Amino acid sequence: MRSGFVKRHSAVLIVYIILAVLILTTSLLSDVFLSFRNFENLLRQAAPLGFVSIGQTFSILSAGIDLSIGSVVSMASVLTTGLIEGQENLVFPVLVLVIGLALLIGFINGTIISRTGVHPLIVTLGMMSVVQGGILLYTKAPTGSVPIMFDYLAWGNVLLKNVRIPFPFLLFAFVAAIAIVFLKLTAFGRYVYATGGNEEVARLSGIKTSRVKVIVYMICSFSASLTGIMLASRMGMGDPLVGERYMLDSIVPVLIGGTRLTGGVGGVGGTLGGIFIFIILSNALNMLDVTAYWQWIAEGLVVIVSVSLYFKQKR
Residues within the interface to another protein (CB under 8 A): 1, 4, 8, 185-188, 190-191, 193-194, 196-198, 200-208, 264-265
Q: How far is Cα 256 from Cα 11, in angstroms, rounded to an integer? A: 9
Residue number, 82 or 267, with CB nearest to another protein? 267
CB of 190 to another protein, least distance (A): 6
Number of residues that this document lists for the chain = 315
* Residues 136 and 221: beta-carbon distance below 8 Å: no
Pairing of strands 157-160, 163-166: antiparallel
Q: Is 266 helix (H, G, I), strand (E, B) or coil?
A: coil
Residue number, 170 or 190, with CB nearest to another protein? 190
CB of 50 to another protein, least distance (A): 23
Residue number, 172 or 193, with CB nearest to another protein? 193
Using CA atoms, how far residue 14 sits from 8, 23, 258, in Å, is 12, 14, 8
Residue number, 177 or 201, with CB nearest to another protein? 201
DSSP 85-151: TT-GGGHHHHHHHHHHHHHHHHHHHHHHHHHH---HHHHHHHHHHHHHHHHHHH-SS-B----GGGG
CB of 194 to another protein, least distance (A): 5
CB of 253 to another protein, least distance (A): 20
Residue number, 193 or 246, with CB nearest to another protein? 193
Residue number, 11 or 94, with CB nearest to another protein? 11
- Cα angle vertex 108, ends 105, 109, to 5°? 85
* Residues 69 and 220: beta-carbon distance below 8 Å: yes
CB of 181 to another protein, least distance (A): 8
CB of 121 to another protein, least distance (A): 21
Residue number, 185 or 304, with CB nearest to another protein? 185
Q: Which residues contact 290 (CB under 8 A, 6 or more apart)?
A: 298
Residue number, 234 or 260, with CB nearest to another protein? 260
CB of 156 to another protein, least distance (A): 31
Q: Tell which phi-psi region holds residue 281, choosing left (phi > 0), alpha (psi between -120 and 50) or beta.
A: alpha
CB of 193 to another protein, least distance (A): 6
Using CA atoms, how far residue 289 sits from 225, 294, 295, in Å, is 32, 10, 10
